[in-house]
Amino acid sequence: MKNQLIILAGLVFFFCCQESTGGIEKPFENPFIVLDDVDSSNVTGEEDGRALIQEDGWSAPVKLPASDDGAEDGTYITRDGRYVLFYYVPTWGNENGVDPQIYFTERPFVNRQLHPITSDDFNAEAGPYISEVGDIYYTKTFIVLEPTPHEATPRKIVMNDGTTILDMGTGEHEGNPHYCDAMEELYANIEYESGDTDIAVFKDGVTTFLPEPINLPENLDLQPFLTDDCQTMYFTSSRGSVISNFPLQVYKSQRIGEFEWSEPELFISYPQPEGMFGGVGEFSMTRDGKQMVFLELTITLEGDEYVGTNEMYYAERYNQ
């Protein structure tokens, strides 16, 4: 069931393709610059989420107005709190054949705009992240239609205009990148053919899979996000799941060595009421640690079909 239902980025996006439109790749244009100060102006959400933040001092998560009936994913709030980047398809599960594209919404996060890094053809982009020096990292498909049969390589991480490919050498799908400038480390999740995922680090040309207690056998561990000093990591995990791999929840861990991390603590939980399951993930935070954005996935069984919603949520620290 997990392969059909999980829609958090890095797991089930990019599954459809259609004939090429023959469009010309646009040159990279950065539509905004991340500033040094953090914008803390008011953000009004549409409704409260189901997720529970386990750390005291946070507001109740609220759904962002830019989140609509389609499927948003790969959420990332910039360090200055002025923009949220994400990828989007008009229907949950991408059933209508429209390929995922990267969008951004400007504070107070009401309207969305297509990001210039999105390509014109059927190859798709997702999982955006902006480093401290302004480089945009994201995941891209590489599907070649001619000659037939179609040839496709695993999804890879690219930078800026997409011409620089950061191949971690795993031979598997590599996605949800996070480049931590302070220690020159590229974090990502590696997705196997089985659908399982692990978190790996690419440093000095070598890929290292994080040992326990981060990656656990027969668990989904994915979507790493690090604070700017590279000492605290938030990530999504299925550990403690009760139905298949649900709930997916966000955990927090502290660095205790070069590739060693402390026992993760639950940071955002997701209740599993009867007849409903899902989870949270795609966590990100501003540089001052006072604003967060994440994704909430809710799945219910309606008749013989599973119906899901994939929405963006925002929370902030109380003034203290």
- For the chain, the domains span 2-316
pLDDT (0 to 100) of residue 59 = 95
How far is Cα 174 from Cα 291, in angstroms, rounded to an integer? Answer: 27
How far is Cα 180 from Cα 199, in angstroms, rounded to an integer? Answer: 14
DSSP 320: -
219-268 pLDDT tens trace: 999 999 999 999 999 999 999 888 889 999 999 999 999 999 999 999 99
Class of 2-316 in CATH = mainly beta
10-50 pLDDT tens trace: 333 333 333 333 345 556 667 889 999 999 999 998 878 89
What sign does the CA torsion over 8, 9, 11, 14 have?
A: positive
SS3 content of the chain, % helix, strand, coil (to 5): 0, 45, 50
pLDDT (0 to 100) of residue 143 = 82
The radius of gyration of the chain's CA atoms, rounded to the nearest angstrom, is 18
Question: Residue ranges of the chain with pLDDT lower than 50?
Answer: 1-23
Which residues fall within 8 angstroms of residue 111, CB to CB, at 6 or more apart? 66, 105
How far is Cα 130 from Cα 221, in angstroms, rounded to an integer? Answer: 22
DSSP string, 235-276: EEE-TT-SBTTB-BEEEEEEB-SSS-BPPPEEEEE----TTE
Tokens of 175: 């996605």
Phi (first) and psi of residue 207, to 5 degrees: -100, 125
How far is Cα 5 from Cα 308, in angstroms, rounded to an integer? Answer: 8
Phi (first) and psi of residue 3, to 5 degrees: -70, -30
Q: Give the residue among 272, 270, 161, 251 at the shortest CA–CA distance from 199.
A: 251
Position of tokens 């999804």?
A: 155
Full-model pTM: 0.89
